[in-house]
Amino acid sequence: MLAKTINSNNPRKNFDFQLLKLFLDENLDFFNGARFQKIQQPTRQEFIFTLRNSRGNRKFYVNINPKFFHLCFISEANGKKRFIEIPKKPPMFCMLLRKYLEGAKVAKVCQPKNERILEFYFETYNELSEKIYLCLAIELMGKHSNVVLYNYDTNVIIGCAHNVGAEKSSVREMMGSLPYAYPPKHSNVRFSGLSSELKIGSSINQFIDDFFADYQEEEKIKSTKTKLKSMSQAKLKKVIITLGKIQNQSTSLDKANLYRKKGDLIMANLFHHKDFSSFIEVLDFETNSPIKIELDNRKTLKENANQYFKLYNKAKVANLKSQEMIENLLTEKDYLEQVLYSLDNATTVEELLEIANEETRNSKREPQSLSPFTVYRLPLTTHRPPYTIYVGKNNKQNDYIVSKLSRDEDLWFHVHNCAGSHVLLRVEAGQEPTEEIIFECAKLAKEYSSAKNSSKVGVIYTKRKFLKKPSGATLGYVTYKNEKEIIVD
């Protein structure tokens, strides 16, 4: 038997024909006589064949993605790492395979010499109840990987996972109704693939399953994180640009008040100046100095005063609207910065999907499940009973900690004016947190924030009963009062 000694920093070694041979030798007894009980196609490049024989059921997984091409029996845990989702509507090729192979019994399974091809042969019947012989060829050849079903008697292809026309290959076309042929031989068939990572020990299948599950999970995390960060950064950039424009265009309250003052000064001097003038000079009763006021010479002094009052009211309303928009944009900016912080610190696909699904953050319905919280417990030898500290990893968890887990006397911590996790100290009956405990929580709030590498950071804390979540606020957003601040180095 064989075991893995794998270098996780070198995931580019490919699934080679020697590894395929070792896998087939290990599982040949299970394949012979097994039935293809269920066929599923999660994506264009992934297949799950549920095989059954006298020993039970096993899920045979085939991946023809050029980055991950391999096959193996997958465990439940590694199936979750691959994040397999079965579509409600199966692809056409999946329906074709179900038509011909579901319930079919494997008559023979083999590997052509020095080829990365696994062949399953079936004796079955067509629509006319005529006995036919079919072959399912799983070709694991990098970008040329494919799954092909063909009639062994006529050598005619029934269907392929990927059709290959003349425009894609002048050497080997692959599509329904064409004859099936093996790929052209290469002189150098010996190369260093994954089989070179093996040594005597345990299961070949376990080696393949673990290796590619870890690799696929790593790539899924990387690609999902890149996609989500790109989307969030684009939104944040748009918010910052809009915020800048509104701040530049908004009428200040000082300007509005100046309009009102001019109107008041005109009204106070109605009987000292003539109507239909271009301007008047009056004494500013606030500064006790003269001020020149521009007028519309087509209007009376009273009409000019009313015009300034209208400008004042318009500017005041515009200023209120601008301030409201600025406040909303600042809240959105803080939220997106929090999302980017959460994305940087996410380590699993589940955590990333929680962040991706935050468009439902205003829904009153709680998510069915959350990825595990980060939970700390201070040593039993020092504190009886021990203190429990909850740390949210993203906005959904932050919201859940405040809305569902917390109690009135618990202490809530957060870095001041920075993106970061909500940290909650559970305070049990009879407990009175010491300054030492509070400082430990403040250090955690700094550690789980975008300011973790800063020299000095302010951390605010208050009791849970002094937190409030405004109606319609984004996930994780709270207001607070009666807070205290600790400076953490």
Which has the closest alpha carbon to 348: 478, 218, 178? 218
pLDDT at 373 over 80: no
Average pLDDT over residues 222-243: 94
The residue ranges of every structural domain in the chain are: 2-220, 253-339, 364-488
Q: CA 260 to CA 306: how far, in whole Å?
A: 9
Q: Residue 191: its pLDDT value, please?
A: 55
Kindly tell me if the per-residue pLDDT of 113 is higher than 50. Answer: yes
The answer on pLDDT for 197 being more than 80 is: yes
Listed in sequence order, the DSSP H helices in 346-423 are: 349-356, 395-400
Looking at residue 351, its pLDDT comes to: 87
At 351, give phi and psi (nearest 5°): -65, -40
Assess whether pLDDT exceeds 70 at residue 359: no
* 482 touches 467 (CB < 8 A): no
User: 354 or 78: which carries more pLDDT confidence?
Assistant: 78
- Does residue 215 have a pLDDT over 90? yes
Tell me the pLDDT band of 206, cut-offs 50, 70 and 90: very high
Per-residue pLDDT at 116: 95
Query: Which of the four CATH numbers 2.40.100.10, 2.60.40.10, 3.40.718.10, 2.30.310.10 does domain 2-220 have?
Result: 2.30.310.10
% residues pLDDT > 70 (the chain): 92
Contact 39, 89 (CB under 8 A): no
pLDDT attached to residue 301: 93
Q: At residue 77, what is the residue type?
A: A
What is the dihedral sign for C-alpha 168, 170, 172, 175?
Answer: positive
3-state helix, strand, coil in the chain (%, to 5): 35, 25, 40
| Residue 438 pLDDT | 94
Determine the average pLDDT of the residues in 142-171: 92
Please report the DSSP string for 157-208 in residue order.
Answer: EEEESS-B-TTT-SS--B-TTSBP-PPPP-S------GGGGEEESS-HHHHH
pLDDT recorded at residue 382 = 54
pLDDT per position as a tens digit, 281-306: 999 888 889 999 999 999 999 999 99
pLDDT band at residue 1 under the 50/70/90 scheme? very low
pLDDT mean across residues, the chain: 88
Stretch 447-468: mean pLDDT: 93
Range 245-250 average pLDDT: 77
Q: What is the pLDDT of residues 64-104, one digit of tens each?
A: 999 999 999 999 999 988 989 999 999 999 999 999 999 99
pLDDT at 2 over 50: no
Is a pLDDT exceeding 60 seen at residue 32? yes
pLDDT of residue 316: 86
Helix (H) or strand (E) holding 257: helix 253-268
The least confident of 235-239, 261-265, 321-325, 466-470 is 321-325
Q: What is the mean pLDDT of residues 442-457?
A: 92
Predicted confidence (pLDDT) per residue in 310-351, tens digit:
999 988 888 888 888 988 899 899 999 999 999 998 988 888
pLDDT band at residue 186 under the 50/70/90 scheme: low
CA atoms within 13 A on the CB side of 41: 18
Q: What is the pLDDT of residue 379?
A: 62
**pLDDT at residue 131, rounded to an integer:** 87
> Which of the four pLDDT bands, split at 50, 70 and 90, describes residue 7?
very low
Q: How confident is the model at residue 358 (pLDDT cuts 50, 70, 90)?
A: confident
> How confident is the model at residue 150, as a pLDDT?
97
The pLDDT confidence band at residue 129, using thresholds 50, 70 and 90, is confident
Lowest mean pLDDT across 7-21, 352-366, 390-404, 423-437: 352-366
Q: Is the peptide bond before 385 cis (omega within 30 degrees of 0)?
A: yes
For position 286, what pLDDT does the model report? 85
pLDDT of 251: 61
8 A C-beta contact, residue 267 and residue 305: yes
* Structure tokens, 218: 């790593």
pLDDT of residue 360: 53
Task: Tell me the average pLDDT across 355-374.
Answer: 63
CA 319/CA 364 separation, integer angstroms: 33
